[in-house]
Structure 1
Amino acid sequence: MQLHRGRLIDHIQLVVRDLPASEKFYTAVLSVLGIPVLSTDNGYFIADEFTVSAADSPTSTGQLTGRHHLAFQAKDRETVDAFYSAALSHGGRDNGAPGIRAYHPGYYAAFVLDPDGNNIEAVYQGDATRNVPSVTLDF
């Protein structure tokens, strides 16, 4: 495990009703994206800076987190398609089939609801960001 300092988000945690169902779902969709899931015996699992906990886990406050929107980066459109298929095959529900979105040119995404109703997206923005220069902000 490696900590990444200086990022806007340190980590994201969801507290879920059914940890085994969520672990099955996220293991399937994150493996398509090339992100490994680490299981624990302490009522949670992690994937990079993403943690999913049972309500009775020592890592949670005992309250479900509610509904959230998370977008995971995909390396190409085929990966978005594979994410969508894996999600539907592992307890996810359709919330927007893979396709171009009107957000900006080249935005290709798919949306699913995880077992707790969170809106989970895989997005490929490569076509739109190929010639976009990186930006450094000085404060």
Structure 2
Amino acid sequence: MLISYATLGSQNREAAKAFYDLVLAPLGIKATYADTDFVGYGPDAEGAKAELWICKPYNGQDASAGNGSMLALNAASRAQVDAAYAAAIAAGGKDEGKPGLRDYAPNFYAAYFRDLDGNKLALVCRAEA
């Protein structure tokens, strides 16, 4: 694994937690840690470590989405991509690309959205249909 963990900034951790709880559930990911400042997400498995953190920026400045920055999350199936994307849009996320095959690589099935703070995410399945 190349990445140890990822952090997305949020102005409202409670709203972000509600959003990500819905979006990540179809991927088998849940909040494994939460307090008033941070929420950490990891696999829905005993003893799993958080690999995605949502929090206010450490420097105390406003959270902002980086132009050109995107976090891509793995999905085991196209149905997971569809379900997580639908949850994101239903929870107030903004569409950046509906689920479907892309020309990037064989079997590259993806969907794109922005969260409540404007962070861009992708959901990607590379399995055959």
Q: Deviations over 1:4-34 (max 9, x none)?
A: xxx4222111221121221111111111100
Work out the percentage of aligned pairs sharing the same amino acid.
36
Return 5+ residue gaps in structure 2 as ranges.
42-49
Q: Which residue of 2 aligns with 1:54?
A: 56
Q: Is the 8 A contact 2:64 2:117 kept in 1?
A: no
Query: What are the within-5 Å matches in structure 2 for residues 1-139 of structure 1?
Result: 7-47=1-41, 48-55=50-57, 60-63=58-61, 64=63, 66-67=65-66, 68-127=69-128
**Which deviations, in whole Å up to 9, do the C-alpha atoms of 1:67-96 show, x marking residues without a partner?**
230111111111110011100111211110
Q: How far apart are the structure 2 equivalents of 1:122 and 1:76?
A: 10
Q: TM-score, normalised by structure 1?
A: 0.77
Gaps of 5+ in 1: 1-6, 129-139
Structure in which a larger fraction of residues adopt strand: 2
Considering only aligned residues, what root-mean-square deviation do their CA atoms show, in Å?
1.7
SS of corresponding position for 2:30:
coil
Shift of residue 65, structure 1, vs aligned partner:
5.0
Q: Which has the larger radius of gyration?
A: 1
TM-score normalised by structure 2 residue count: 0.83
